[in-house]
Chain A
Amino acid sequence: MDGRDVAVTINGVRVRVPEGTMILQAARTAGYEIPSLCFHPDLRPNGTCGMCVVEIEGVGVRRSCCTPAGDGMDIRTNTPRVMDTRRTLIELILADHAADCPICDKHGKCDLQRIGQDLGIREIRMAPKEVFSRRSDGGIVLRDPNKCILCNRCVTVCTEVQGVANLTRIGRGYTSKIGTAFDLPIEDSVCVNCGQCVVYCPVGALSSRDDTREVRRSLADPGKHVVVQEAPAIRAALGEEFGLSPGAVVSGKMHAALRKLGFDRVFDTNFAADVCILEEGTEVVRRILSGSPDLPVITSCSPGWIKFMETFYPGLRSLVSSAKSPQQMFGALAKTYYPREAGLKPEDIVSVSVMPCTAKKFEADRPEMRSSGFKDVDYVLTTRELARMIKESGLRFEDLADAPADELMGSYTGAATIFGATGGVMEAALRTAYHLVTGRELENVDILPVRGMEGVKEAVVPLPLPDGGTLDLKVAVAHGLGNARRILDVIRNQLETTGRSEYHFVEIMACPGGCVGGGGQPFGSTLGTRAERGSGLYEEDRTLPSRKSHENPAVQRLYETFLGSPCSEKAHHLLHTAYVERERVHGRAAG
């Protein structure tokens, strides 16, 4: 079977494709796009929507997303019969779809809208009927079952890619809907808020909480001093909302736009990412050199991963680094260190973050994230929300002149910027761990085995020890929670059978591709798009004057004037946290 090709004719064009290729994919090779609502190249096809029908000579009409191209097949993708079938199907779907396009979050990015336009649907002969009450959730991930076309993409990504399996199809027939176990509201379920269902939804049935109004109100309040931070992954994706290609790095325009929106200080989460490396790197080095049984150290930057761990792997809590995520480190410093330096009152400061992530909204709302004495991060905007604010303000993003972030908490190194791609935190930490252990600098900072889109990456990194020996550091990187399960099951098994794991340091990111693939990023991405965004970050890393977190002068200043040293008592109070155990039905903290 493997390696064999089949020859098919598509609309008269003869192409050869590997055996097992679905007709929909084969048609792309022949230069034809076949419309589909339920199919997504990253997900296993399920054939629910029927939009991708084609005519096969001598066989009849078939769904091309889940029919493999067979040798000698003569396939037509746009006969009158195919077109009529598609038009009827889309009419039927529209008859059960709340088509409030102008006020829909997915307007302009909606597959149903696009296909309906392409097929020239101008009339729906069956009157749409609303079956469900409008919004059924009050959390971060929001459903509108009236818009849902039951394509199952969200269920597939939640179950097969993320391994959370929170979503399922409930009931059947006209009143069936996508929901959770026991039909709990999403905010009361085991949902980890990763938002992958939102980015894979072909229509506007899934969306995320919008916090732009609160941010606007703070910006307009003369009594408030509003500071903003932007996560590494924003700069490699924000441009997509303005017609740039994925991976185009727009750090300068992003900082300029935020200043024009009226933020009093435009800082950068990358600064906090460098701080995070010093805290987490110190913790890693201490745990490894002290022979602690709590190994591997597992990264803690990804709040979707943290809630997942608290729900499904609470027994591994002691392995997870106590270091807060860069967002929350920044938040704690924005209301302690910053007002001290700037002569402001912390109660006047509003701290806003821009994140590629929907789970960051949950993280900022966690009750323990108040080490400054206030809510450390007041509002979290996604990349999409920031893009909307830029658009509604009438700013011409593409014409903005590049501007740097404000220095005090805005300078950053290349190590920080790669946080946004899978493997980036690992690579950044290793660059600094080398320095912490040896006192020397790593010459070649490119640690290639931990880069790329492979689901689980492993490497052995030789680390020279102060006593002259060498420690072979065994590391692993997983992105996407389904991949995380694979490595976690291995670790748990090793700990249960031998009391020790062979791994020293493990990076886990909830979303496929890392933060560049986050649930708050621009719609319409594939794993390919996510890889391009990641490449943009590695490119920025390559061009920055410093590529190691401990060399960041603004971070050095923070420790000299405020924190003392990494993992000091003050650093512990402000920059570290603890985790809870959650129940497996509703995801609430146990006890």
Chain B
Amino acid sequence: MTTSQIIRSLEPTQDNLLAILHRVQDANPANFLDQPELREVADYLELPYSFVYGVATFYSMFSVKPRGRHVVRVCASPPCHLMGGRTIRDELREYLGVEFGDTTEDGLFTLELSSCLGTCGIAPAMMIDGEIFGNLDGVRLREILDRKRREEP
């Protein structure tokens, strides 16, 4: 589907804004909302560009800057923190070689902090794209990331 088709897959009502933005971002190879996309969404919903841009920057699941192929969101909420989340965060930074908010040089991973992912039973947890990984430790973490790397063509 083209971007226009994705945008037009939902009715042009303001309450569809978030759903449309999600679909558009998911289809963007760099995992973000670029300016032409935001403009087209705004035009379709007859909303000001500033409003749509404000929404896209308010929600942390959206990005207006290009990101890696995979977005790694590590939970920073207290239950994960108590279960060793701080170590996981440090290991992620070290293994990927980037700070939070940044993207690895090969363009594969963007590392982000997240508030509670709702999976406290398997803390510490992280989410890669839409998939949750729990009961993390340094070894498991590396395995998961290495597997993601290997899956790349």
Taking Cβ atoms with an 8 Å cutoff, the residues of A that contact B are 159, 165-172, 180-183, 584-585
Contact = CB atoms under 8 A, between A and B. Distances in A.
B53 A159 contact: no
B49 A170 contact: no
Interface in B34-81: 35, 38-39, 48-54, 57-58, 64
Contacts of B64: 182
Nearest to B54: A168
Contacts of B49: 165, 181-182, 584-585
Given A182-B35, A585-B39, A169 B54 contact: yes
24 contacts: A159-B48, A159-B50, A159-B51, A165-B48, A165-B51, A166-B50, A167-B50, A168-B51, A168-B53, A168-B54, A170-B53, A170-B54, A171-B58, A172-B57, A172-B58, A180-B50, A181-B38, A181-B50, A181-B52, A182-B35, A182-B38, A182-B64, A585-B35, A585-B49
A166 B54 CA distance: 11
A159 B54 CA distance: 13
Contacts of B53: 168, 170, 181-183
B48 A170 contact: no
Given A165-B48, A584-B49, A585-B49, A170 B39 contact: no
Q: Most chain-A CB neighbours within 10 Å: which of B35, B38, B50, B57?
A: B50
B102 to A, nearest CB: 16
Contacts of A584: 49
Given A182-B35, A585-B39, A165 B50 contact: yes
Contacts of B50: 159, 165-168, 180-181
A500 to B, nearest CB: 27
A169 B48 CA distance: 13
Main secondary structure of the interface of A (DSSP, over half): mixed
A182 B57 CA distance: 10
Contacts of B48: 159, 165, 168, 181
A311 to B, nearest CB: 12
Which of the four size classes fits the interface of chain B? Answer: 10 to 19
A168 B52 CA distance: 9
Given A165-B50, A585-B49, 11 more contacts: A168-B50, A168-B53, A168-B54, A169-B54, A169-B58, A171-B57, A181-B49, A182-B49, A182-B64, A183-B53, A584-B49
Contacts of A167: 50
A320 B64 CA distance: 38
A165 B55 CA distance: 14
Contacts of A169: 54, 58
Nearest to A159: B48
B49 to A, nearest CB: 4
Nearest to A584: B49
Contacts of A182: 35, 38, 49, 53, 64
A183 B35 CA distance: 11
Contacts of A183: 53
A277 B51 CA distance: 40
A181 B48 CA distance: 8
A165 B51 CA distance: 8
Nearest to A180: B50
A401 B96 CA distance: 76
A169 B56 CA distance: 11
A351 B26 CA distance: 57
Q: Most chain-B CB neighbours within 10 Å: which of A166, A181, A183, A585?
A: A181
Contacts of A166: 50
A485 to B, nearest CB: 12
A165 B57 CA distance: 16
B76 to A, nearest CB: 13
Nearest to A169: B54
Contacts of A168: 48, 50-51, 53-54
Nearest to A189: B50
Nearest to B58: A172
A591 B38 CA distance: 23
B30 to A, nearest CB: 16
Nearest to B56: A170
Nearest to B42: A181
A256 to B, nearest CB: 45
B58 to A, nearest CB: 5
Nearest to B59: A172
Nearest to B52: A181
Nearest to A166: B50
A585 B53 CA distance: 12
Contacts of B39: 585
A313 to B, nearest CB: 15
Contacts of B52: 181
A587 to B, nearest CB: 11
